[in-house]
């Protein structure tokens, strides 16, 4: 599974990437987590508010930092 964390590189985005990585590991989800800070790529996804989570090319959340439970649900549904 490919997970992209879209954002400017701010603390919220960095923390979200770290949390997603930790949750994926804990759940045993084989995931490649990548932080994307290139605004052109972020805009190509149609994301106007960051941070955002993209799983396998599909924007799952944007503009909010989801809770641990919400991240777990996203990862298990997409897996």
Options 13, 23, 31, 53, the catalytic residue = 13
Q: Do the beta carbons of residue 59 and residue 43 sit within 8 Å? A: no
Residue 24 and residue 31 in contact, taking contact as beta carbons nearer than 8 Å:
yes
Q: Is 36 a catalytic residue?
A: no
Is 40 in the active site?
Answer: no
- Torsion angle, alpha carbons of 74, 4, 59, 48, to 10: 130
Q: Which residue among 1, 10, 39, 41 is the active-site one? A: 10
Active-site amino acid positions: 10, 13
């Amino acid at each position: 599974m490919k997970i992209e964390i879209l954002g400017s590189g701010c603390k919220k985005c960095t923390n979200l990437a770290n949390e997603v990585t930790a949750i994926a590991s804990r759940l045993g989800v084989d995931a490649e987590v990548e932080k994307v800070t290139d605004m052109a790529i972020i805009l190509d996804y149609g994301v106007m508010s960051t941070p955002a989570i993209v799983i396998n090319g599909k924007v799952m959340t944007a503009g909010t930092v989801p809770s641990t439970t919400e991240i777990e649900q996203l990862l298990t549904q997409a897996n």
